[in-house]
A and B are shown apart, each in its own frame.
Chain A
Amino acid sequence: MNLSRFISAALLAVAIVTGTASDFPSANPPLILGGYRVLEADFHVHNFPFNYTALAPWDLVLEARRQHLDVIAITAHNRVWPSKVGVWFSALVGGPTVLTGEEVVSPRYHLLGIGIDSTVDWHQSAASAIDDIHRQGGVAIAAHPGLIFWPGYDDTAVSRLDGSEVLHPVIYASPRSYKPFQQFYSRAHAAAIGDSDYHGLWPMGLCRTYVFAKNDSPAAILDAIRARRTVVYDRNNRAYGDPELIQLTEHDQRFADLRREADNPDLSWMVRVSGICGVLGLVALLFL
């Protein structure tokens, strides 16, 4: 082994050892506020295969646990079965609550159907798809409702929505896209939702929803969304959701700690060393 290969191998070995050692999350104690359990949720997570991402349902469950997410919904494009695999695996390993669901991707709208059992036909109108989701006992959330999707939601569809993504990672990439999300949320009078729309191109839970539920069961979480008991904060400290719950969260140090941890994910020295050595190791592998 020549010197350059040795340097590369040593850097990558340090990166993998420190990265793996720091990959075991500590569990957060449950937070109770206003008589409700506060759950950190990401209702828009995609899985491999067929969904423009690289993590399989079981990988998503493990990653959600590392991200301190209490709840995720696996929302494959136009199919429900991957979320059922996630539910099964999470029960097996004692992971977070996984909700069944799908992202109904129509050319005219994108809609999250959460807590459903069978696939919703994407050929129908948004109002009809929402009705289908409700018939199955699920909740319907408008996914990243940018201007391009507004024509897909007529007044009937908007009035039947249970939630609307007001916070989505794209607003940090393109601040202009934020306003339409805010306007759609105001129009819908639905639960405020923040999701990461995880596709493997950024961390899961980058945007998240704080759900105020009676417990962490799927039924209680769906009830909380129907009752609009959610709070979403953006990185500029702007809050959306139930005003009374927002007030509760503003004066609670434990909630502030929860948010700080979510906004600034675990960047201990081990994570830093792993990341920097990993990048340098790959550079050395390529160029030396």
Chain B
Amino acid sequence: MQTAQRTPLISIMLRPAYAYRALAALRVERKWGAVRGPLLLLFWLGCSLSLITSQRLGLRLVAAGMINLSFVPLVEIFALFVVWRGVRPISFSRAVDLFFLGHGPWMIGMLGYAAIWTLFAPVHAMAITATRHIAPILLVAALWSGYIDYCFFRYVFNRSRARAGADLILERAIAWGLGMIIYGGGVLPSQMSGMLRS
């Protein structure tokens, strides 16, 4: 239990079921818990954008990334709220705090991508980050993160297995659906038309 408290991000990544069970049992709200997780994710996104675009951490790009990508935690919080309604006895701020501790796989993925662009020459970085290399890693991150979030719903919200799975699908559908519209909505009608045609 102490490990889960001391390094929650790592513990949740390595043993999500155990870590979430231990953290849920604590019933202690971390100071600024509901804000710390989303802010950490935003800082991570801003830093990644800055490293990829300019190979350095500059305030201009870190701030731009944090402001423009603020929709990411916001849609996640909204989706979590929809799933959380009626769950007792956990408060929503505690739920947000614990949920955002489960973003480790995405954070590692972003850091790895940013590190490649920081440390390698552009042509080499482009070759290393080709879709055929990145796609399997994205798939692993998505599955890993999916399992972590499943454990969150199962042990923090105390859901049955089926209900935790349904919560995961609902949360993903809302957050990723809204996120896709904000992030790439300009091209969705044309892409959907192309898919229907083929």
Contacts and interface: CB of A to CB of B under 8 A. Distances in A.
Given A169-B126, A278-B47, A279-B118, A54 B69 contact: yes
Contact of A203 (B68, B122, B185, B197): B122
- By CB atoms of chain A within 10 A, which of B126, B184, B185, B194 has the most? B126
Chain A: interface size category:
35 or more
A15 B115 CA distance: 13
B57 A286 contact: no
Chain A CB count within 10 A is highest, among B69, B108, B132, B187, for B187
With a 10 A CB-CB cut-off, give which of B7, B58, B126 has the most chain A CB atoms.
B58
A57 to B, nearest CB: 11
A202 B56 contact: no
Contact of A275 (B57, B62, B132, B190): B57
Interface string B117-151: 11101110111011110000000000000000000
Given A23-B58, A206-B126, A275-B56, A52 B184 contact: yes
B122 A265 contact: yes
Nearest to B197: A107
A173 B131 contact: yes
B166 interface: no
**Which among B10, B104, B108, B118 has the highest number of chain A CB atoms within 10 Å?**
B118
Interface string A122-139: 100000000000000000
Interface of B: 7, 9-10, 44-45, 47, 49-62, 64-65, 68-69, 71, 104, 107-108, 111, 114-115, 117-119, 121-123, 125-127, 129-132, 181-187, 189-191, 193-194, 197-198
Given A19-B54, A50-B183, A66-B54, 10 more contacts: A20-B57, A54-B64, A54-B65, A55-B68, A78-B190, A173-B126, A174-B130, A203-B55, A278-B47, A282-B114
